[in-house]
Amino acid sequence: MYKSPQIKKGLFYVGVNDRTKHLFESLWPLPKGVSYNSYLLEDDKVVLFDTVDICYSDIYLSKIKSVIGEKPIDYLVISHMEPDHSGSIKWLLSMYPNLKIIGNNYTCEMLKGFYGIIDNVQIIKDKEELSIGDNTLRFITTPMIHWPETMMTFLVQSKTLITGDAFGTFGTLDGGVIDSQLNPDWYYEEMIRYYANIVGKYGSAVQTAYKKLSDIEIECICSTHGPVWTEKENISSVVSLTDKLSKYETDNGLVIAYGSMYGNTEQIAEIIASSAANNGIKNIVLHNVSKSHESYILRDIFKYKGLIIGSPTYNNGLFPPIENLLIGIESRGIKNHLFGYYGSFSWADATIKKFTEFTSKMKFDIVADPFKMKQSPDETVVEQAINLGKLMAERLNSTNY
């Protein structure tokens, strides 16, 4: 008979995989799906950590019962109230009416607002502890990663940290749940994309949480999305990667994002990339914004220090996907980038003005004067493109990493 996988003594994985949804939050592509992770701790008391999307409630219940049979669940600890994690709460209460819900003040407000739940709720404070037998739960509030109610739970005896969306990643768990059972390498790229798009704006909140966790020895990380991290080397990599991203620290490389209706703006992007490569930059990523989804562009911007954007004029403004990208960059407060930009037009340019407004807000380090192209590349424009690639490479090569 199938039994849900055990992570640590008494701690079981009861999450589910979603291979059906195309867009996470109706925004971000899921080519490899996503997992909704929930954990069950069996001790003198039975504790469930988070739930799953309501459409998987039947599978979810079977996984829970594979561990505890007909025993009741005593507590439900809520790390995060987004519906992919809280969606089954009301249904769960119908199955386990004596269940007590544990959360903070913000959690309680959202329980009422989302599901009309006001009874059987236990409000906890930061660093409060609860003994359930052999295990002690320590609750650590981590607001704004990436909602105000987010929190983590540290299982003191097993040194296990249940983290909510922190350290999360896109991608389903295809067989293995624990990192030692699977190849974790490809999850790192999806972890960066997840962070850049979901958590990216809240780097300072992540750093505040890191300070709270600084005196805790962690031997297992249980996020609400992606693998359970148990290998020392992987835990170190996951923690270091998120720390780096939350500080807006980058690697030596260049992202060139461009919009191009007829191919002329794209030609300039190719020339810039070639010039940067000729001057020693190996990590170069070109994104046609009409094909690359914004989530992948933002991922790469979080990875690499150099950024160049080119846009044609469109309806007396920027090319719409470029405008959306700039909004995404600005809303995430991305910092510490070397920046260059150029525009193109057929009869009246609007790009340079719009880009200048953007750079005045972002305070990026501009590596060269912007230039604009009328209709198609001429010799002067080609030389300006070559120079932009060269100057970007020189600045990147002079930066210590």
Q: Which tokens in the block code for residue 296?
A: 């992948």
In the structure encoding, which two tokens stand for residue 380, read together? 């002067």
Q: Which tens digit of pLDDT belongs to each residue from 260-291?
A: 999 999 999 999 999 999 999 999 999 999 99
Distance CA 68, CA 43 (A): 10
Average pLDDT value for residue range 86-110:
96
Average pLDDT over residues 160-185: 96
pLDDT digits (tens, 9 = 90+) for 319-362: 999 999 999 999 999 999 999 999 998 998 999 999 999 999 99
At the top level of CATH, which class does the domain 6-246 belong to? alpha beta
What's the pLDDT tens digit per position in 352-384?
999 999 999 998 999 999 999 999 999 999 999
- 61 and 68 in contact (C-beta within 8 Å)? no
CATH number for the domain running over 254-393: 3.40.50.360
pLDDT at 168 over 90: yes
pLDDT digits (tens, 9 = 90+) for 26-36: 999 999 999 99
* pLDDT confidence tier of residue 399, bands split at 50, 70 and 90: confident
What percentage of the chain carries pLDDT values higher than 90?
97
The amino acid at residue 61 is L
First CA to last CA distance, the chain: 52
pLDDT of residue 45: 98
List the chain domain ranges: 6-246, 254-393
Place of tokens 């929190």: 151
Q: Are 228 and 222 in contact (CB under 8 A)?
A: yes
DSSP labels, 148-198:
TT-EEEEETTTTEEEEETTT--SB---S--BGGGS--HHHHHHHHHHIIII
Q: How far is CA 2 from the centre of its chain?
A: 32
Measured CA to CA, the distance from residue 50 to residue 47 in angstroms comes to: 10
pLDDT at residue 128, rounded to an integer: 98
Please tell me the predicted confidence (pLDDT) of residue 193.
98
In the three-class reduction of DSSP (H, G, I as helix; E, B as strand; rest coil), residue 133 is classed as coil
User: Is the pLDDT at 127 greater than 90, yes or no?
Assistant: yes
Provide the pLDDT for residue 22: 97
Please report the pLDDT score of residue 401 as a whole number.
Answer: 57
Per DSSP, the three-state class of 111 is helix
What does the pLDDT read at residue 363? 86
- The mean pLDDT value of the chain amounts to 96
pLDDT of amino acid 2: 81
Tell me, rounded to whole angstroms, the distance of Cα 288 from its chain centroid.
22
How far apart CA 221 and CA 372 sit, in angstroms, is 49
Task: Give the pLDDT of residue 3.
Answer: 86
89/108 Cα distance (integer angstroms): 13
User: Could you tell me which residues are beta bridge partners of residue 339?
Assistant: 307, 366
For position 400, what pLDDT does the model report? 66
- Both tokens of 257, joined, read 């994002």
Strand partners for 329: none
